[in-house]
Amino acid sequence: MTNRFERPDRVQFEVQDYATDTLAVRAGQERTPEGEHSDPIYPTSSFVFSSAREAAARFGGEEEGNIYSRFTNPTVRAFEKRIAAMEGGERAVATSSGMAAILALGLSLMKQGDHVVCSQSVFGSTVSLFDKYLSRAGIETTYVDPTDLAAWEAAIRPETRMLFLETPSNPLGEMSDIAALSKVAREHDALLVVDNCFLTPVLQKPLELGADIVMHSATKYIDGQGRCLGGVVVGREAEMEQVFGFLRTGGTCMSPFNAWVFLKGLETLPLRMRAHSDAALQLAKWLEAQPGVERVFYTGLESHPQYELACRQQKGFGGVLSFEVKGDKDAAWRFIDATEMVSITGNLGDVKTTITHPATTTHGRMTPEDRARAGIKDNLIRFSVGLEDIEDLKKDLSRGLQAI
């Protein structure tokens, strides 16, 4: 996969000469002789050949070209090229969901006897995938405090193949130092994988900081409007070829329609991420000053214990914040039920603001002890700030505050 974008019969642009905002709208498009301006969509399961000889050459890998949409589809390829350019990776492989991206990484880059060191503050299904399913393939996982560099080092064994983390974490915004951990990973011949779902390449570029692989749930900010499920993995050619090999056989591929939606999503991603971030920072500061609020968790606040790292590692703080209300679970539920506009749902990264009670929904399957250890209290509320008017959002939050 070449890292360039093109105008037919005219100029080829090398992606390294362009900024992320430009790549978001232009990278990856392979214009056809029709001269279409917008990205075309190819809803076809297979492709035809001009002769038996060409078919054989394509299947044999001697000739490049499309064969079958489980592993070669031009719309999916355009999405892969665009996100690879934005993350600064050599190649991307798209998957049917964010979880399928982690499954593909696990099954293609590891084997029986390998070991993973994983942040204890990752997406709940990520923990289930490692503990319930990759464990069956003989891959063991140890969980560590994502903020504690010494704990990561101490957990590494000779058979450790992968370090896996999300930064900032959900819902408490704990951070891992990507540059420092990439050195640890390299010293131990392990791969550092960063789930960059919360910040996207607009606000954080893990590969530039030394990570080996970046992955996304495209379902969140990349779509940005809550329409489609998808995932993607980005990294060096060598590892991506292995992930691609798994996808080709494993079949957890992205559909052309979803790839087309995500291409459109990427075009507005820089604008949206900056707007989500600006609004979240304003609301985090506003919430911190409210008497009914115990504590606000957001990497953009000076009160955040890793504020300095956030300023160094991120280009913005993202759209998700959490806060504890003064009171118990019932107070948190009363707060949520008193809001009128925001959506009560577990999803995030949408233009519509969403509100969640983690202890009884996204983190409800954890035991109370595990939840306590993770710092997720019953009075915690997560807020994924959308693109509504900020004063309307404050009014809705005020309704909640009055009800606690």
Q: Which residues bind ligand PLP (CB under 6 A)?
A: 97-99, 123, 166, 170, 195, 197, 217, 219-220, 229, 231
Burial class (CB in 10 A: 0-12, 13-18, 19+), 288: middle
258, 274 in Cβ contact below 8 A?
no
Number of H helices, E strands in the chain: 14, 14
Q: Considering the complex, what minimum distance in angstroms separates the CB of residue 220 from ligand PLP?
A: 6
> What size, in residues, is the chain?
404
The CB-nearest residue to ligand PLP is 98
CB atoms within 10 A of CB 230: 28
Question: Min. distance of Cβ 43 from ligand PLP in angstroms?
Answer: 21
| Residue 219 vs 314, nearer CB to ligand PLP | 219
When the beta carbons of 5 and 123 are compared against ligand PLP, the nearer one is 123
Pick 75 or 200: Cβ nearer ligand PLP? 200
- Do residues 219 and 69 touch, judged by C-beta distance below 8 A? no
Question: How near is the Cβ of 338 to ligand PLP at its closest, in Å?
Answer: 26
Residue 182 or 354 having the CB closest to ligand PLP = 354
Please answer whether residues 230 and 253 qualify as being in contact, where contact means their C-beta atoms are separated by less than 8 angstroms. no
**Nearer to ligand PLP by C-beta: 165 or 281?**
165
DSSP for 124-140, written as a single string: HHHHHIIIIIGGGGT-E
Query: Nearest approach, Cβ of 82 to ligand PLP (angstroms)?
Result: 18
Closest approach of Cβ 314 to ligand PLP, in Å? 15
Nearer to ligand PLP among residue 154 and residue 344 (C-beta) = 344
Pairing of strands 160-166, 191-195: parallel
Q: Which is nearer to ligand PLP, 228 or 331 (CB)?
A: 228
Q: At closest approach, how far in Å is the CB of 169 from ligand PLP?
A: 8
Q: How far is the CB of 242 from ligand PLP (least distance, A)?
A: 21
DSSP 83-136: HHHHHT-SEEEEESSHHHHHHHHHHHH--TT-EEEEESSS-HHHHHIIIIIGGG
Cβ distance 69 to 45 under 8 Å? yes
* C-beta of 3 vs 96, nearer to ligand PLP: 96
Q: Least distance from C-beta 397 to ligand PLP, angstroms?
A: 23
DSSP state of 150: H
Contacts for 120 with CB less than 8 Å, ≥ 6 apart: 143, 144, 145, 146, 373, 374
CA gap 270, 24 in Å, rounded: 8
Residue number with CB closer to ligand PLP (5 or 164): 164
Q: What angle do CA 85, 90, 94 make, to 5 degrees?
A: 75
Closer by beta carbon to ligand PLP, 217 or else 306: 217
Minimum CB–partner distance for residue 304 and ligand PLP (Å):
19
User: Closest distance between ligand PLP and the C-beta of residue 230, in Å?
Assistant: 7
Structure tokens at 76: 């999916």
The smaller minimum CB distance to ligand PLP, of residues 39 and 166, is found at 166
Write down the least CB distance from residue 214 to ligand PLP, Å.
12
Cis amide leading into 168 (omega within 30): yes
Residue 171: asked if its preceding bond is cis (omega within 30°), the reply is: yes
Query: Percent helix, strand and coil across the chain, each rounded to 5?
Result: 40, 15, 40
Cβ contact 307:175 at 8 Å: no
